[in-house]
A and B are shown apart, each in its own frame.
Chain A
């Protein structure tokens, strides 16, 4: 009851704040360039946000460029750097945590601390998102949608195997292994026809297996390798054994197994909220669970954010545009359209957002236990080094001990090069 009233009061306060912010129409004339990322749902939500922005700023033209990030963040970074190099940078950039440090270290964006302090509406965002958007004491990004990796599971396959649904309980690595074994089916010849789990093949998806063991592949400030921590090898050995000893997962290759999960050939996969829309389309009886713990139940988080270019001739207009892009309406539309959990908590509490998966409330519930994906300025190189060696270890091409050492040496060489560039 009280919670309901509190929510109502908060929504009303945000509404009033929005109304008071909706000052008389500005007659300022300008063209703002906005470059962001995402699929159809994000594009539609952003276009609607621009329409609302233009009600207050009818003489401001917003030129939108969307990048689907179909080939990873490396190409996006190259594109942004080239735009700055050609003195053709956008005014506002939407990007993701994987690129934050790269852009911050090159001082491409303006600090937004004063703007954030002047906008009480941002108290609706989890403070941790702003903390993780900061670099050397300054905040350069206004967070938007985020994704934390959860265990997505096929409820029908759990019921068929007579396994209790994990729901919102915290399970440990051993329990997870047992469940994965029960969910793996084989034919008479012993070949798998259904896998209990997909050992992740992507950098972002695999991080919870290190975090839940109280470790990480990089040190705390992302300035060097932490691969020689015995816990890293322990996590890798666990994943390796799921494949080669328990045989509950295929060897991770280039392709992810999203399609096989949707087709009911894999019972559990590690993914973020972006998978929800595909599960709805595939009519998959899916739910989410907290990743299993070894030492902690921490999982990984990645999120997007908007920044104002330091070359922008209209920084105040750019900030006003960001206000609309991070408004309740935009966040609600993006969250309900799929692709990520809204940065605004109130937008993640709507009926439509909580409708599917059944445990959708877990996304926000686990937020305090999230650790950002290791994203140093040389992220693209770190990701490639790790994944190349990780896949070789998972494919049994090199022993874990050797792979860990090799990865460490390559990561250290990469950080050394980064340091030499200043």
Chain B
């Protein structure tokens, strides 16, 4: 017995709501197309994240396997004398590296976003972007020579100018600054390129109208350019922050975290604990803490962005 007649309004709506065979075939094809990337994401992103989280509650021996230790690893990290300094180093590096990478990148983009011969424009863009594509291993050799205490290039010129040489990498007072300088030199070109693309999207008509109305460059910059590219600035800040909080390469190649712990970051600590001390579980717990810190800071940035980003 049928409840509704085949041509009743309810039955008609039910048929209309049901996707057609064609649509279902298209959906199947769509799912099949995204399946490889979903499987790759599952294997190479989601699974390692889950495994890291689970490992953080264990003592893991590569031969014997894992033993559940509850919150011991987190307790050890939170009570270790070194943790606070290493955490502070990471935040300090992130704050200055993000400020200068994004700030200098924007300044360079503004400087290059003006009329000039195309060969000169490409020359400058290439010059500032080149460090981004050079392998850090080569960069490290050059900067180590620059930063040498007494036989270094920078100190040689400081001495020639009658100035006091600086202990660039061997003093806790200056080592972090030296790393930030190299990091900005290496990475700011990337942010410059993104800003140049954003600046080229600022409508010329609006800029021309403002100029005709007598607006100064500063006024055009603060009232038109900055609001227009604010989503890109926000993207760059978030992107740079996530990268800076995971800083590893720049520090390892120059100081390896020294002197003492004065430049050691959380990522370096994770690698040292995991592959130096074979404390895989402990390293996983630090990785979980670092992930939570990144999530927290990114969320705060997202919340704050509502006040200044124009979408």
Q: Give A156 Cβ to nearest chain B Cβ, in Å.
A: 18
**Which of A254, A265, A417 makes the CB contact (< 8 A) with B258?**
A254
Which residues of B lie under 8 Å from residue A392 when comparing CB positions? Answer: 172, 258-260, 262
Any chain A CB within 8 A of the CB of B257? yes
A84 to B262, CA, bound (A): 37
**Which of B61, B63, B259 makes the CB contact (< 8 A) with A391?**
B259
A189 to B157, CA, bound (A): 13
**Which of A82, A85, A255, A391 makes the CB contact (< 8 A) with B144?**
A255
Any chain A CB within 8 A of the CB of B171? yes
Any chain A CB within 8 A of the CB of B304? no
Q: Report the count of interface residues on A (CB-CB < 8 A).
A: 37
Any chain B CB within 8 A of the CB of A191? yes
Any chain B CB within 8 A of the CB of A81? yes
Q: Given A78-B62, A250-B151, A253-B170, do A398 and B276 touch, yes or no (CB 8 Å)?
A: no
Q: Given A78-B62, A397-B259, do A189 and B159 touch, yes or no (CB 8 Å)?
A: yes
Q: Give A68 Cβ to nearest chain B Cβ, in Å.
A: 14
Q: Given A250-B151, A391-B258, A391-B260, do A85 and B62 touch, yes or no (CB 8 Å)?
A: yes
A380 to B274, CA, bound (A): 11
A381 to B272, CA, bound (A): 8
Q: Which residue of B lies closest to A190 (CB)?
A: B159
Which residues of A lie under 8 Å from residue B149 when comparing CB positions? Answer: 250-251, 253
Any chain B CB within 8 A of the CB of A399? no
Q: Given A77-B278, A81-B278, do A421 and B256 touch, yes or no (CB 8 Å)?
A: no
Q: Give A95 Cβ to nearest chain B Cβ, in Å.
A: 15
Asked if A78 and B278 sit within 8 Å, CB to CB, the answer is yes
Q: Give A356 Cβ to nearest chain B Cβ, in Å.
A: 27
Which residues of B lie under 8 Å from residue A85 when comparing CB positions? Answer: 62-63
Interface string of B270-286 (1 = CB under 8 A from A): 00100111110000000
Which residues of B lie under 8 Å from residue A388 when comparing CB positions? Answer: 257-258, 260-261
Question: Residue among A78, A254, A392 with the most chain B CB within 10 A?
Answer: A254
Any chain A CB within 8 A of the CB of B59? yes
Which residues of A lie under 8 Å from residue B148 when comparing CB positions? Answer: 250
Q: Give B76 Cβ to nearest chain A Cβ, in Å.
A: 9
Any chain A CB within 8 A of the CB of B231? no
Q: Give B138 Cβ to nearest chain A Cβ, in Å.
A: 14
Asked if A84 and B260 sit within 8 Å, CB to CB, the answer is no
Any chain A CB within 8 A of the CB of B125? no
A14 to B278, CA, bound (A): 43
Any chain A CB within 8 A of the CB of B255? yes
Asked if A384 and B62 sit within 8 Å, CB to CB, the answer is no
Asked if B277 and A380 sit within 8 Å, CB to CB, the answer is yes
Which residues of B lie under 8 Å from residue A414 when comparing CB positions? Answer: 277
Any chain B CB within 8 A of the CB of A389? yes
Asked if A250 and B150 sit within 8 Å, CB to CB, the answer is yes
Q: Give B285 Cβ to nearest chain A Cβ, in Å.
A: 14
Which residues of B lie under 8 Å from residue A260 when comparing CB positions? Answer: 151
A residues 282-314 in Cβ contact with B at 8 Å? none
Asked if A74 and B260 sit within 8 Å, CB to CB, the answer is no
Question: Residue among A84, A191, A253, A395 with the most chain B CB within 10 A?
Answer: A253
Q: Which residue of B lies closest to A385 (CB)?
A: B277
Any chain B CB within 8 A of the CB of A378? yes
Any chain B CB within 8 A of the CB of A23? no
Asked if A251 and B63 sit within 8 Å, CB to CB, the answer is no
A residues 250-279 in Cβ contact with B at 8 Å? 250-251, 253-255, 260, 265
Q: Give A181 Cβ to nearest chain B Cβ, in Å.
A: 16
Q: Which residue of A lies closest to B282 (CB)?
A: A417
A134 to B279, CA, bound (A): 26
A74 to B272, CA, bound (A): 9
Q: Which residue of B lies closest to A414 (CB)?
A: B277
Subset of 30 A-B contacts with CB under 8 Å: A72-B276, A75-B275, A78-B278, A81-B62, A81-B278, A84-B62, A85-B62, A85-B63, A108-B63, A191-B165, A250-B149, A250-B150, A253-B149, A253-B258, A254-B169, A254-B258, A380-B278, A381-B276, A384-B272, A388-B261, A392-B172, A392-B262, A395-B167, A395-B170, A395-B171, A395-B259, A397-B262, A398-B260, A414-B277, A417-B279
Query: Which 5 pairs of residues, A with B, have the shortest CB-CB distance?
Result: A392-B260, A81-B62, A381-B277, A395-B259, A251-B170
